Chain A
Amino acid sequence: MTKLAYFPGCSLKDNAKRFEDAAFFVMETLGAPLEELETWNCCGTVYSLADDDLMHHIASVRNFIRTKEAGSEELVTLCAMCYNTLARVAGRVEAHADELEKINAFMDREEDYEGGIRIRHILQVLRDTIGWEALSETVVRPLDNLKIAAYYGCTLVRPQETGIDDMERPVVMADALAAVGAEPVTFPFEAECCGTYQIVDEPHLALEQSNRILRSARLAGADVVVTACPLCQHNLEQALIAPVGESEEIKSIQVVYFTELLAAALGADEATMSPVVREILSTSVTAEGGA
């Protein structure tokens, strides 16, 4: 299988490094390794919603040009926010030739972007290119008895035009974890907002939201919440550290990136795992040959 052009974004090189490390291992093991773009810049972080604000789409477009230079028509992301921003900009300039012309004219030192780049989240690659069966066949350490709540947040599923799954009842992340032996639980806050950047100046907004999400997952019987976004992961972790109000029950839940559990199931060396994942494996997952 050919290599996949990969866009990391800021967090994957810093606080979400374990999200990326695990994804590299998973994709290598599946024979579809990620190849990071030689150069890349910030995706723009959020998609600008004001109609006349073309300036902030330039960051994404530059990354599309880098992708073409790498000889690829597709760009794969791990971060849900990068996915959303890149995919929305790609769709917008594809549909509005006049806007793309303005952006190209502004970027003096770039080759014109002519359109045609497709943004894919790694969950789409796993589902649509590799398939759950192939993923399942690669498992060496099945996550038996592990009850997981797949938490999608906003940017993977909304808006509908760029959403990677059903926007009210997404299943793709739960299916990925089920393919490696875990038992997904359903809970109603799977696509509720985690509080996002409000953690900066209105932390109570983010902590209350994240707290509700964790409680809901715990009430549904989950041992672990899995995420696909460095900001969701951060906010949920903060809510675990500082539970709001009557929420003792959430203290026993763990929050990890979905790629970390996939890597564990596919045989990653324990030394490369985060302490949280090692703890999950030792306490929740049935020992090999056991049960």
Chain B
Amino acid sequence: MARTKTIPRENLRERVEELSGERVFACYQCGMCSSGCPYAEQMDRLPSQVIRDLQLDDETLLDSNAMWVCASCLACEVRCPKGVDLAKLMEALRQIHLRKALDRVSLDDLSKDEIKKLPQIALVASLRKKSG
């Protein structure tokens, strides 16, 4: 008999919950994460909308820029009244792309001068977050 995967992966919500260890239905949409997010205005969906879309299993979320704008600053994580770690949900969304080798950042896109100017802490962190 073929080995069956013990964790279902049929939909986006379940994939993200598996990768993050978080439960998206814990969120009751208070909006605290969006109000404190320093990057919310740069996102095409608010942080709280990202969770709502996960609850609704909206796969178009994968095309959003929110996961790439999120810098894991954890302002949302420490303030969520329901203890949802939104930074982990964002990481899971990034990982879904990165594990298909869909890198967001490549050293090839940077000139030698740019690379020289950037401290390695920035380069390594960027590649750790945005390439697989």
Instruction: Give residues in A with beta carbon < 8 Å to B.
Output: 9-11, 14-16, 42, 44-46, 48-53, 56, 79, 81, 154, 158-160, 167-168, 192-193, 195-202, 205, 209, 230-231, 234
Contacts and interface: CB of A to CB of B under 8 A. Distances in A.
Contacts of B118: 199-200
Q: Helix, strand, loop or mixed for chain A's interface? A: loop
Contact of B129 (A14, A193, A197, A231): A197
Contacts of A197: 71, 122-123, 125-126, 129-130
Nearest to B88: A49
B120 interface: yes
A53 B98 CA distance: 13
Contact of B104 (A48, A81, A201, A230): A201
A50 B38 CA distance: 22
A193 B75 contact: yes
A30 to B, nearest CB: 27
A196 B78 CA distance: 18
B124 interface: yes
Interface in B85-129: 85, 87-88, 91-92, 95, 104-105, 109-110, 118-126, 128-129
Given A159-B78, A209-B38, A201 B126 contact: yes
A202 B119 contact: no
B19 A51 contact: yes
A205 B20 contact: no
Contacts of B21: 51
Place the interface of chain B in its size category. 35 or more
Interface of B: 18-21, 38-39, 42, 68-69, 71-75, 77-78, 85, 87-88, 91-92, 95, 104-105, 109-110, 118-126, 128-130
Contact of B78 (A46, A53, A79, A158): A158
B20 A50 contact: yes
5 contacts: A10-B124, A15-B120, A51-B21, A53-B95, A197-B126
Contacts of B20: 49-51
Contacts of B125: 45-46, 81, 196-197, 231
B127 to A, nearest CB: 8
Contacts of A154: 72-75
Contact of B92 (A45, A50, A231): A50
B72 to A, nearest CB: 7
Contacts of B92: 49-50
B128 A200 contact: no
Contacts of A205: 39, 42, 69, 71
Contact of B119 (A14, A44, A48): A14
A169 to B, nearest CB: 12
Nearest to B65: A202
A10 B73 contact: no
B105 A201 contact: yes
A193 B73 contact: yes
A9 B110 CA distance: 24
A79 B125 CA distance: 14
